[in-house]
Amino acid sequence: MAPPKRKHARNQACVIPGGFTVLSLQFSPDSSARHSVFVKEHKVRAEKSSGRPLDRTLFVLDIPPYCSEAVVKDLFSQFGSVRSVELKDHPGSSEEPGPRLSRLFRPAEKQGFKVGYVVFESPSSIAAAKSHPCDDPLVVSTQLRPVRTGVQKWIQQYIESFIPTDKLQQIVDAFMQDYDKRKEEEEERQKQEAEKQQEDEEGWVKVTRGHKGAKARPHSEAADQRTLQREKRKKRRKELLNFYTWQHRNTQKEHIAELRKKFEEDKQRIALMRAQRKFKPY
């Protein structure tokens, strides 16, 4: 009859269109309100980050604001050992590899519902999470794992905002040591590239393509001397060319003067022939 069928369906997982499985969240054991999150196996082929393996990553939607990464890790630990949890405002590729900044240097996070990527140690944990019954809620706040909200959460955040001086000094020292190490590695790499691009016996330089953003190699003293000599030769050739140009201009002026003198002589001869009436143009 109808009641046994409803009881049988209660023990099954709720799968909605799109391949998402619905999981219920219950804030406390005595709370009557429930919140639904939607989970799905992460299968983005364009994902190149090793931090999200395709066979062990669970994609979670609609995570409430009171669930931090530690709370999400505890919630999904019942399905298997969790390696890492990443919460973001919107779905997207993972962050670029690099030094992880302390929370002191990171901007304030937005408060709101988030999406998450839960990475398990075993692929079987994905199947366990997807087959969890919808009517069996996951309890967020328990006596062993209390989660503060409202004014209590603000008071806790305010207290945690004050960091002891010695701990802050340790964080700064660790950051500066990492920065100095990366700086030394960059200088060593530039030095090796400069040695590869040294000049040979005939003065030729082997130029290799460096990484993006690499600085130009420093010029040697011999290269600077050759550059000065080339500039001097260019200057001498330019002076010689200018001298010949000046001589050519004088020659043209003399030729024009001769043409004008001949023109004046022809005019005088024609005027004399007209006076003698012996001018016969035809």
DSSP annotation string for the chain: -HHHHHHHHHTS-EEETTTEEEEEEESSTT----EEEEEEE---TT---TTS-TTTEEEEEEE-TT--HHHHHHHHGGGS-EEEEEEESS--PPPPSSPPPPTTTSPPPPPS-EEEEEEESSTHHHHHHHTS-TTSPEES--SSS----HHHHHHHHHHHT---HHHHHHHHHHHHHHHHHHHHHHHHHHHHHHHHT-B-TTS-B------TTPPPPPPPHHHHHHHHHHHHHHHHHHHHHHHHHHHHHHHHHHHHHHHHHHHHHHHHHHHHHHHTT-----
In a domain, 192, yes or no: no
In a domain, 227, yes or no: no
- What pLDDT, in 10s, does the model give residues 140-175? 888 888 888 778 878 877 887 788 888 888 888 888
Do residue 119 and residue 250 come from a single domain? no
- What pLDDT, in 10s, does the model give residues 211-229? 555 555 555 666 777 788 8
What per-residue confidence (pLDDT) applies to 17? 87
Do residue 127 and residue 266 come from a single domain? no
What per-residue confidence (pLDDT) applies to 161? 76
Q: What separation in angstroms does the CA of 43 have from each of 23, 40, 84, 132, 218?
A: 19, 9, 17, 20, 48
In a domain, 167, yes or no: no
For residue 53, give the nearest of 42, 63, 64 by alpha carbon. Answer: 42
- Angle subtended at Cα 44 by Cα 40 and Cα 49, rounded to the nearest 5 degrees: 115
Domain CATH for 138: 3.30.70.330
Do residue 155 and residue 255 come from a single domain? no
| Domain end point (choices 105, 130, 160) | 160
Q: Contact at 8 Å (CB) between 80 and 125?
A: yes
| Domain end point (choices 101, 126, 160) | 160
What per-residue confidence (pLDDT) applies to 118? 93
- Identity of the residue numbered 182: R
In a domain, 173, yes or no: no
What per-residue confidence (pLDDT) applies to 120? 93
Do residue 15 and residue 130 come from a single domain? yes
Structural domain total, the chain: 2
Local confidence pLDDT in tens for the 282 residues of the chain: 444 444 445 678 888 888 899 999 988 888 888 899 999 988 876 666 667 888 889 999 999 988 888 899 999 999 999 999 988 888 877 655 555 666 666 666 677 889 999 999 999 999 999 999 888 888 888 888 888 877 887 887 788 778 888 888 888 888 899 999 999 999 988 888 777 666 554 455 555 565 555 555 555 666 777 788 888 888 777 666 656 666 777 778 888 889 999 999 998 888 888 887 755 555
What per-residue confidence (pLDDT) applies to 94? 65
In a domain, 205, yes or no: no
CA dihedral sign of residues 185, 188, 193, 196: negative
Q: What is the extent of the structural domain holding 71?
A: 2-160
What per-residue confidence (pLDDT) applies to 165? 86
What per-residue confidence (pLDDT) applies to 102? 61
In a domain, 184, yes or no: no
pTM value?
0.53
Do residue 35 and residue 143 come from a single domain? yes
Q: Contact at 8 Å (CB) between 138 and 36?
A: no
| Domain end point (choices 160, 193, 222) | 160
- Gap between the Cα atoms of 194 and 92, Å rounded: 39
In a domain, 47, yes or no: yes
In a domain, 204, yes or no: no
- Gap between the Cα atoms of 88 and 110, Å rounded: 10
| Secondary structure (DSSP) of 125-157 | HHHHHHTS-TTSPEES--SSS----HHHHHHHH
